[in-house]
Structure 1
Amino acid sequence: MLIPLIVACALFMENLDSSVVSTSLPQIAIDLGVDPISLKLAFTSYLISVAVFLPISGWMADRFGARTVFRLAILVFVTGSVFCGLSSSLEGFVAARIVQGAGGAMMVPVGRLVMLRSVRKSDYLRAMSWLTVPAMIGPVLGPPLGGFITTYFEWRWIFWINIPISIVGLVLVSIYIKNYKEENLPPLDTRGFLLSGVGLAGFVFGIAASGIGVLPPWIDIALVLLGAAALYAYARHALRTPEPLMDLTLFRLPTFRVSVLGGLLFRIGVGAIPFLLPLLLQLGFGMSPFESGMLTFATAAGAVLMKFTAPRILRAWGFRMVLMANTLFTTAFLLAIISFTKDTSHAAIFAVLLIGGFFRSLQFTALNGLAFAEIDNRRMSHATSISSVGQQISAALGVAVGAAALEVTRSIRGDMAVLPGDFVPAFLALAVIGLLCIPIYARMSPNAGSEVSGHRAEAAGEPSV
């Protein structure tokens, strides 16, 4: 399990960065002279950049070697971090986040690909748990660290702390990671890359930019329509091309289809929490960034606690039951955030976020394990790319939906202030979207993904997928 721990060093840097940013958003908005809600572009621009470059990460790793691409990814990511710290405008900040996203697009999936090619299928869940625990330290440390730096120093230092972490990662990767390559690699699907890139970027960025005045409304609409058309064109292209950038025939596999489509809806439902929660605590309740960070890290702490129990839960109940029941638990704790007020004790807020983080992390672990249950090594790269793209896009859409609901509520009231009541429609909308994944999970067999979960061995006689 040494390789998952090394890969987790890169995940630690990325997850630390994203959680640090969320805690510091109100102060960044003040310093850049922009509305806090407009900083949703700082979230979505990063996620879109990751989604655009993700599909070629697997091909690049196969062509140039996993170690080579992994090291390059770390260098690009830390370069973006430095420019984030140097930004003085929203446009510059968004551009720097795009550079970070390009690095993250190669860093995380290539690292996961290295891990998946190094362990047996029966060890996937255990390896993912080891991989995720160190990576979860980033979100645990991120909110209080970001809040502390923002409150007592300057928010720019939250990006510059990536520099020493990246140096450690580069050394470990160079020493221990093999330079995995594939023989007889097909040429890069350049047309597919352009169509998918234009489609993903146009569609999601158009949605995210609408309503905040960054672009004229007609450009927002044109971006969404152009993106949708490009995505449709890519789907037709991929089904006709022998070696497409992303192999859409993987959706014929029941477990992969359920994981990606169900996970898309679930992640939209919870994807806006890192964006909305710090705004609620700081702008709505008047907390300092440090106070907010000392509460919001509870979500990541709950996720770490879950990692030790996820394999046993899945082995006992199977993917289908866990995903259906856990969606309800997760939604309940999402809606509990609505009950928070200025007078709610910090202990109560911490407890709700801790338990909610536990159940959300269980869902993520189950979805990731299910995605690769029927994937052979030859198509592992394609599956990793598609799964990762779905995760990034759903998170970006979640931020866009949550921010749009918040903006609509504020505009109806008729002023620019952000009040606690403005967040209620946003969390309600996200909860409804998240619940839509339950019918998708219900179509699975009770033994779906049993090779990974081990559930079939304890439930002999049940039908398989």
Structure 2
Amino acid sequence: MPSVLLDARTARLLPWIVAIAFFMQTLDGTILNTALPSMARDLAEDPLRMQSVVIAYMLTVALLIPASGWIADRFGTRKIFFGAILLFSLGSLLCALSQSLGMLVAARVIQGLGGALMMPVGRLVVLRAYPRTELVRIMSFITLPGLVGPLIGPTLGGWLVEFASWHWIFLINLPVGLLGGYAVWKLLPDMRGALRTRFDGIGFLLFGAAMVLISIALEGLGELRMPHVRVMLLLMGGLACLAAYWLRAARIEAPLFAPSLFLTRTFAVGILGNLFARLGSGALPFLTPLLLQVAMGYSPAEAGMSMIPLALAAMAMKPLARPLIERLGYRNVLTGNTLLLGILIASLALASNELPRAVLLVQLGLIGAVNSLQFTAMNTVTLIDLRDADASSGNGLLSVVVQLAMSLGVATAAALLGGFTSTTGADGVDDLHQAFSLTFLCIGVLSMLAATIFLQLSREDGRSARRTEPVEGEVEG
């Protein structure tokens, strides 16, 4: 039974409110990458060193996701959801007004504060407001914008940059945010948890510090060009915080994420597989528009439209994921698909103006289809064998790992690209193209190595469960 009773009007409009918030978030995540070169020119920055704009948002989201449920229970879903939309809209406005890279990164952090709360709290509202018999229908509706956003985001971003300015990729969030904020305040039920739970603040700080230090260390090799000694100190500090978190979590009663989750083999393999396999998937949306515009001379609109096959193929693969997994099993699908994904990413090293454009579009389409199957299989195998008591915590950790892996993917790609640019000199287009080619090759090989993680699954893992669709509330990105 739902924890609140909705009137007919609210029950009809509530899924639209959550869907709009999801659309804002997914659109923003895909519209930005096409605009990075234009933003770099306006801000007098190197377009190859703009990854902090992407990483700042992803890392902020990853940091706050573990606290989102507790914050909503403590202060109420209406206030938090309204505040999330307000922060996201304010961050969008500040992004558009930014006059330097530092201002833009700070504005993206504010955006991330809102983005980290919007979808987790929105899913929580749906979970508490509707009977379980309605959840599949409602969740299917509100996650549809998550597929539409990546489809129109790069193209819309390219057209806005080419025919208006990059500022509009943020300004278009404002009217949607105003409409969503008004609807939330008027219609959203104000729900709180039945029991007041104690939040693991120390664990939150340790886990967050580990993510931030490791991310800054990787970014220090790229955009920040830190001395290697400083990078190693940051990296070791991050690993020490992570070790301290897990040692502490093993001895307290209610940790942020319990180590006992990893006693479930499919969860352990799924989490580690997500972390490493998504390095390539996370790097692609950052690297590909840069390759097309900076190395191959595409206009922003052309670069954005070139990404359409990737999103279309991803949508087309969704109905095929379930029969493939049921027929072949998670071990075979994930091992073979991970190898294929790495090969396809590495094949982008061959992209050049000499090759027909149709070849590039086919490559991107194949990557989109393989990526889609990868996400569905990885996310489902991670959660499918967890006990009901562990499902919420496991889903929270999966959401954090998804965001963290994409952030690390961008940081790793930028560090490799910066290193190869320095090595080749990048004095001309040929040198720059060689740096991109080497980066794609390395990212592809790193992605392929994740197949060794999925080999640790048995042939029967996941087959006894009835669900082979993504579990309710998961993030597909």
What TM-score do the two structures reach when normalised by structure 1? 0.89
Match of 2:435 among 419, 422, 429: 422
| Cα contact 1:119–1:127 (8 A) shared by 2 | no
| Cα distance change on mapping 1:391 and 1:269 into 2, 3 Å | same
Match of 2:64 among 53, 57, 63: 53
- Counterpart of 1:75 in structure 2: which amino acid? L
- Counterpart of 1:133 in structure 2: which amino acid? L
| Cα contact 1:113–1:381 (8 A) shared by 2 | no
Query: 1:120 and 1:453 mapped to 2: Cα distance?
Result: 17
Pick which of 244-253 and 85-94 moved more: 244-253
Alignment of 1:449 onto 2:462: yes
- Counterpart of 1:430 in structure 2: which amino acid? I
Residue aligning to 1:263: 274
Alignment of 1:238 onto 2:268: no
| Cα distance change on mapping 1:374 and 1:87 into 2, 3 Å | same
- Counterpart of 1:309 in structure 2: which amino acid? L
Give % identity: 38
Query: 2:250 and 2:456 mapped to 1: Cα distance?
Result: 25
SS across alignment from 2:438: helix
Match of 1:41 among 52, 56, 80: 52
SS across alignment from 1:308: helix
Pick which of 175-184 and 147-156 moved more: 175-184
- How far does residue 398 in structure 1 lie from its aligned partner after superposition? 1.0
| Cα distance change on mapping 1:284 and 1:410 into 2, 3 Å | same
Residue aligning to 2:161: 150
Provide the alpha-carbon RMSD of the alignment.
Answer: 2.7
* Structure 1 residues not aligned, in runs of 5+: 456-465
- How far does residue 174 in structure 1 lie from its aligned partner after superposition? 5.7
Match of 1:400 among 408, 411, 422: 411
Residue aligning to 1:432: 445
Alignment of 1:70 onto 2:84: no
- Counterpart of 1:285 in structure 2: which amino acid? M
Residue aligning to 1:164: 175
Alignment of 1:29 onto 2:40: yes
| Cα contact 1:189–1:244 (8 A) shared by 2 | yes
Cα distance per residue 1:282-331 (max 9 Å; x no partner): 01111110010010132122212222332333333332222122213322
- How far does residue 150 in structure 1 lie from its aligned partner after superposition? 0.4
| Cα distance change on mapping 1:369 and 1:180 into 2, 3 Å | farther
| Cα contact 1:113–1:384 (8 A) shared by 2 | no
| Cα contact 1:129–1:308 (8 A) shared by 2 | no
* Structure 2 residues not aligned, in runs of 5+: 1-10, 469-477
Cα distance per residue 1:59-80 (max 9 Å; x no partner): 2233334444333222211211
- How far does residue 175 in structure 1 lie from its aligned partner after superposition? 6.9
Query: 2:178 and 2:266 mapped to 1: Cα distance?
Result: 38
Alignment of 1:93 onto 2:107: no
Aligned 1:50-449 pairs, distance under 5 A:
50-114=61-125, 130-170=141-181, 179-213=190-224, 219-415=230-426, 419-449=432-462
Residue aligning to 2:475: none
- How far does residue 176 in structure 1 lie from its aligned partner after superposition? 6.8
Query: 2:326 and 2:81 mapped to 1: Cα distance?
Result: 33
- Counterpart of 1:259 in structure 2: which amino acid? G
Pick which of 221-230 and 403-412 moved more: 221-230
Alignment of 1:12 onto 2:23: yes
Query: 1:245 and 1:285 mapped to 2: Cα distance?
Result: 46
| Cα contact 1:23–1:289 (8 A) shared by 2 | yes
| Cα distance change on mapping 1:163 and 1:380 into 2, 3 Å | farther
- How far does residue 43 in structure 1 lie from its aligned partner after superposition? 1.2
| Cα contact 1:55–1:245 (8 A) shared by 2 | yes
- How far does residue 113 in structure 1 lie from its aligned partner after superposition? 4.5
| Cα contact 1:260–1:371 (8 A) shared by 2 | yes
SS across alignment from 1:196: helix
Query: 1:251 and 1:381 mapped to 2: Cα distance?
Result: 14
- Counterpart of 2:217 in structure 1: which amino acid? G
Pick which of 25-34 and 100-109 moved more: 100-109
- How far does residue 86 in structure 1 lie from its aligned partner after superposition? 0.8
Pick which of 401-410 and 364-373 moved more: 364-373
